Chains A and B, each alone.
Chain A
Amino acid sequence: MPSLAIFLPLMAAAGLLLIPRLGRRMILRIWIATAAADLILIAIMWLGYHGGIGYQTRLRWIPSVGAGYHVGIDGMSLPLMALTALLFLLCAVYSLRETERVRAYAALFLFLETVSLGLFAAQDLLLFFVFFDLSIVGMYFVIAGWGHGDPARSALKFFLYTFLGSLALLLGFIGLYLGSEPHTFDMVELTRHPAFANAPGAAGLVLLAIGVGLAVKTPTVPFHTWLPPAHTDAPATGSAILAGILLKMGAYGFARIAMPMLPSAWQRYAWIVIVIGVVSVLYGALVALAQENIKRLIAYTSVNHMGYIVLALGAAGLATGNPQARELAVTGAVTQMVSHGLITGALFLLTGVLWDRAHSYDLNRFGGIAANAPTFTGLTAVAAFASLGLPSLSGFIAEFQIFAGVIGTGVPGAVVAGALSVLGILITAALFLRVLQKAFLGPPGELTAKVSDVRPAELAAVAPLLALSLAIGIAPRWLLSLIEPVSAAIVSLVSR
């Protein structure tokens, strides 16, 4: 069942490429239908999920090195897979007006959907790596082929940077493989019997390799420099997927691989992780505050939001901290992954509307958009408030749990880190209010006349994301009850 969900988009992509003479509308219909079917499949799996690692499939792939095709779904991968399927579906809906090389465009997004779903379901390190690396290749072509501005340069930077990260990750995986006894790439096995139990030095090096690899993808300061140009020059849908799904791969990797498989090293270096998290939170927010380019600004808020996740996961490694609080922090981190996917996905799709109408992201050239485009303004306002952590929206649920968890550990350093990070929320609030004031309220700007209100397809793409964010914000229980057992498991695993 997960394999079907994973490979259905890929099959559809192959079909799109192989069947000749498909019209533009037909291609878009097939794309939307496939994405919708995939979302339904995942919803069915969600309903049938009963804890633990469900829906496992194991096939031999490279038995001589202990690597296999092993997929399975648990409470952390399920919400992320659902987010993936939803966001890809909405990107398809958003692209209804796309005219440029639609066949390749749809095939590429379907390919990326397979890759993303596969990554979140992978239970084998080598398989995880395959999907991790392919996500880079797919996104490279999206940016280079359909971007604007200077896409070739941004795409190249994105490719080189994240590819370096992925190869560092591969080295780390090889280290885990060689450190395990018997040698294996199976994530379940590696979690059960952590490698390097008696070799702290080697474990530290392996964690360094894996940490760098994942930190580039997440991205955390100082590995974030690829992110702003990639986002600025990518098409709106590409940015939404990049921020909504691809960044989660890094954060997910920390929770899924680094913490449970290298518990003692994670505990030892937890403080470094916490510091990196706090720096990312503050630096991302401050740099975002200084941006005049709206899309670049949102890109930097991603650094800030992912920083909360890193902070929470670092705090979870504080062995002396209160275990309940650490579980809360991890739950917050996973919730934040989902919430950030929803909100930032929506924000990037909304900036796509700006580009579509006015071909500019310059904050100073807009003003008073609210008068021309009330629905657009309303959607942006909701997304902005969600992103700055207003209660009753998902961002609040996630960040509140993170702060409560980090501070609740009772370790003085963590309390300071948590308190510092709360400042991040303050700065984010300031910068979003600044955007709303400058671009949407106030006197009309130079380009405001061009900004017409959202079209039905755009509304249909953005509204579900915000509605879901609201649903999580008001009644988070259905999501949290899925995540909580996993975070308890992660905290107990990392405390070994």
Chain B
Amino acid sequence: MKGMNQNPLDLLPELFLLVGAVLGLMAGLFTPRYRQRIVAWICGAALTGALIATLTIAFRPAGTVFDAYALDPLTNVTRIVVSAATLVVVILAAGWARGNRREAEVYVLLLLSALGVIILAGADDLLVFVAAYLLASIPAYALAGFAKDAPGTEAALKYYLMGAFLGVLMLAGVTLLYGLSGVTAYQPLGERLTNAPVPAVACAIVFLLAGVLFKAGGVPAHFWVPDVTEGAPPAVAAYVTTVPKVGAFLGLLRMAVEVFQGSAAGWHLLIAIVATTTMTLGNLAAFYQDNVRRLLAYSTISQAGYLLIPIAVAGRSDLAQPALLFYLAAYAVTNLGAFAVVIALGRDSLADYAGLGRRSPWLALALVICLLGLVGTPPTAVFVGKFLVFAAAWDGGYAWLAVVAVVNTVASVFYYLRWILPAFRADQGPGYEPSAAAKRVAYLTAWASLALGVGSGLVLALG
């Protein structure tokens, strides 16, 4: 490391979010309830600012700032994906939160949680990682129970208890690593771990994984996902199943490459096994769900399994990093699109989607694109992501993992089609007026997922 960089302007995107949240909170305090929409605009502007700031500094050489925060493509992609995804969520949430007594708080909490997620990925020091974990989680707990109804409260409680418990385990892992090496910064930590006793390191890695898997919604820390997705307000469900994954997986990738790499503990295999169980369990549980939000919840769990594959081959294949980055971006767009359709219709039961193709053909098309996208049908973005993941797995010596993922993908077709098919049946379901803003978001994300797939070469070349 050449000299310590302490330029706060390198953190401009993060500062945008922080300032946006604070300004939004202040504005929310002093505006009457019917004018709180202004906070959504403030938060939207902050997210847009973060996006633009990232784009302007994205092509600087990689480095770190304050010796604890990495500035590299990984961080920049996280900034872009998280800001853009949160922006979409803010738009989706605006329709639901309108007129709520605490409308401003929704946007502020979203922004704060998003900030935490970005820092999760950028953290180059275990203590920063822990702080980011808390910052990303606590506002999300509040959001999950925001509606103060029974399912929401249950969801929030479950979310909070799991998060607190697994967070403590993660802290134990951090303590253990500090005890083994005497440092918390990733790079020196990784160097010193090469000589540390393997069982202790393995324990620490398992503990650390507990926290990360909680954020990512991976097995065995997935129990909150279905309940929160079904019980929380739909826009919040879209948020917690999409955005935290980005930070969690990229943070884990950074740890894997910088910290775990030198240790002899068999973490590659551990993550491969976790990936296998996560995708298999998520897929099997999704099979006969009749509530679309629960179905999407299990689908996001299975997607977490695919996303773990590139981490299992981190350091062994050059494709691991681009695969993970691209898959995450693709997944975020596509998953948000599916949720946008659900929010636009405001209906949760599979039966309510019967005849959607007749009533709103374009919304049905968006749904088809997003769901087939989640399957991994070309030319959507997730297809390119999946293809890169398979290639990375094979290249990294885990061809069997690619085969497992393929079998799982085929199995997943079944439940996505259970959703698609009734939409194109001739029988008329009950008619609803879709909400206009969410409908537009659904179109936008569906086409974006196609465009990202077709234009994947361009995106990958930049990354």
A480 adjacent to chain B (CB < 8 Å): no
Q: Are A63 and B457 in contact (CB under 8 A)?
A: yes
A37 adjacent to chain B (CB < 8 Å): no
Q: Are B378 and A133 in contact (CB under 8 A)?
A: yes
A266 adjacent to chain B (CB < 8 Å): no
A171 adjacent to chain B (CB < 8 Å): yes
The complex places the Cα of A178 from the Cα of B424 at a distance, in Å, of 40
The complex places the Cα of A62 from the Cα of B326 at a distance, in Å, of 12
Which label, helix, strand, loop or mixed, suits the secondary structure of the A interface? helix
Assuming the contacts A62-B460, A130-B378, A168-B406, asked whether A174 and B390 have C-beta atoms less than 8 A apart, the reply is: yes
Question: Which partner residue on chain A sits nearest B392 by CB separation?
Answer: A174
**Interface size of B in residues (CB-CB distance below 8 Å):** 31
Q: Which chain B positions have C-beta within 8 A of A171?
A: 390, 394, 402-403, 406
In the complex, how many angstroms separate the beta carbon of B254 from the nearest chain A beta carbon? 21
The complex places the Cα of A174 from the Cα of B457 at a distance, in Å, of 17
A126 adjacent to chain B (CB < 8 Å): yes
A102 adjacent to chain B (CB < 8 Å): no
B434 adjacent to chain A (CB < 8 Å): no
Q: Which chain A positions have C-beta within 8 A of B387?
A: 126, 170, 174
Assuming the contacts A62-B457, A137-B372, A145-B424, asked whether A160 and B413 have C-beta atoms less than 8 A apart, the reply is: yes
The complex places the Cα of A130 from the Cα of B403 at a distance, in Å, of 19
Q: Which chain B positions have C-beta within 8 A of A141?
A: 424
Q: Are A178 and B377 in contact (CB under 8 A)?
A: no
Q: Are A159 and B413 in contact (CB under 8 A)?
A: yes
Q: Are B384 and A62 in contact (CB under 8 A)?
A: yes
Size category, A interface: 20 to 34
Which B414-463 residues have a C-beta within 8 angstroms of A?
414, 417, 421, 424, 456-457, 460-461
Q: Which chain A positions have C-beta within 8 A of B315?
A: none
The complex places the Cα of A45 from the Cα of B409 at a distance, in Å, of 39
Question: Which partner residue on chain A sits nearest B372 by CB separation?
Answer: A137
Q: Which chain A positions have C-beta within 8 A of B319?
A: 65
Q: Which chain A positions have C-beta within 8 A of B390?
A: 170-171, 174
Q: Are A163 and B410 in contact (CB under 8 A)?
A: yes
In the complex, how many angstroms separate the beta carbon of A202 from the nearest chain B beta carbon? 10
B391 adjacent to chain A (CB < 8 Å): yes
Which B170-185 residues have a C-beta within 8 angstroms of A?
none
B322 adjacent to chain A (CB < 8 Å): yes
Most buried by A among B357, B372, B417: B417
Q: Are B457 and A60 in contact (CB under 8 A)?
A: yes
Q: Which chain B positions have C-beta within 8 A of A67?
A: 457
In the complex, how many angstroms separate the beta carbon of B401 from the nearest chain A beta carbon? 11
B388 adjacent to chain A (CB < 8 Å): yes
In the complex, how many angstroms separate the beta carbon of A464 from the nearest chain B beta carbon? 32
Question: Which partner residue on chain B sits nearest A173 by CB separation?
Answer: B387
The complex places the Cα of A134 from the Cα of B379 at a distance, in Å, of 8
Q: Are B460 and A64 in contact (CB under 8 A)?
A: yes
Partner pick for B456 among A62, A152, A170, CB 8 A cutoff = A62
Q: Are B457 and A64 in contact (CB under 8 A)?
A: yes
The complex places the Cα of A22 from the Cα of B202 at a distance, in Å, of 66
Q: Are B388 and A65 in contact (CB under 8 A)?
A: yes
The complex places the Cα of A134 from the Cα of B409 at a distance, in Å, of 16
Partner pick for A177 among B384, B391, B417, CB 8 A cutoff = B391
B395 adjacent to chain A (CB < 8 Å): yes
Which A201-230 residues have a C-beta within 8 angstroms of B?
none
Partner pick for A167 among B394, B406, B424, CB 8 A cutoff = B406
In the complex, how many angstroms separate the beta carbon of A183 from the nearest chain B beta carbon? 9
In the complex, how many angstroms separate the beta carbon of B288 from the nearest chain A beta carbon? 14
The complex places the Cα of A170 from the Cα of B377 at a distance, in Å, of 12
The complex places the Cα of A58 from the Cα of B357 at a distance, in Å, of 37
Q: Which chain B positions have C-beta within 8 A of A159?
A: 413, 417
Q: Are B394 and A134 in contact (CB under 8 A)?
A: no
Assuming the contacts A164-B410, A167-B409, A178-B394, asked whether A129 and B378 have C-beta atoms less than 8 A apart, the reply is: yes
A144 adjacent to chain B (CB < 8 Å): yes
The complex places the Cα of A205 from the Cα of B409 at a distance, in Å, of 20
The complex places the Cα of A104 from the Cα of B361 at a distance, in Å, of 10
Most buried by B among A141, A156, A167, A168: A167
The complex places the Cα of A355 from the Cα of B334 at a distance, in Å, of 41
Which B364-397 residues have a C-beta within 8 angstroms of A?
372, 377-379, 383-384, 387-388, 390-391, 394-395
In the complex, how many angstroms separate the beta carbon of A208 from the nearest chain B beta carbon? 11
The complex places the Cα of A394 from the Cα of B295 at a distance, in Å, of 51
Q: Which chain B positions have C-beta within 8 A of A130?
A: 378-379, 383
A175 adjacent to chain B (CB < 8 Å): yes
Partner pick for B391 among A61, A134, A178, CB 8 A cutoff = A178
In the complex, how many angstroms separate the beta carbon of B87 from the nearest chain A beta carbon? 27
Q: Are A152 and B421 in contact (CB under 8 A)?
A: yes
Q: Which chain A positions have C-beta within 8 A of B406?
A: 164, 167-168, 170-171
Q: Are A156 and B378 in contact (CB under 8 A)?
A: no
Question: Which partner residue on chain B sits nearest A164 by CB separation?
Answer: B410
The complex places the Cα of A366 from the Cα of B214 at a distance, in Å, of 65
Shortest 7 CB-CB contacts between residues of A and residues of B: A130-B378, A62-B457, A167-B406, A164-B410, A64-B460, A174-B391, A61-B457
Other A-B contacts than A137-B377, A140-B417, 15 sampled, CB-CB below 8 A, are A60-B457, A61-B456, A62-B384, A64-B322, A64-B457, A65-B319, A104-B361, A144-B421, A144-B424, A160-B410, A170-B406, A171-B402, A171-B403, A175-B394, A178-B394
> A interface vs B, CB < 8 Å?
60-65, 67, 104, 126, 129-130, 133-134, 137, 140-141, 144-145, 152, 155-156, 159-160, 163-164, 167-168, 170-171, 174-175, 177-178
Would you mind naming 25 contact pairs between A and B with Cβ atoms under 8 Å apart? Answer: A60-B457, A61-B456, A61-B457, A62-B456, A62-B457, A63-B461, A64-B461, A65-B388, A65-B391, A133-B377, A134-B377, A134-B378, A140-B417, A141-B424, A152-B421, A156-B417, A160-B410, A160-B413, A163-B413, A164-B406, A164-B407, A174-B390, A174-B402, A178-B394, A178-B395
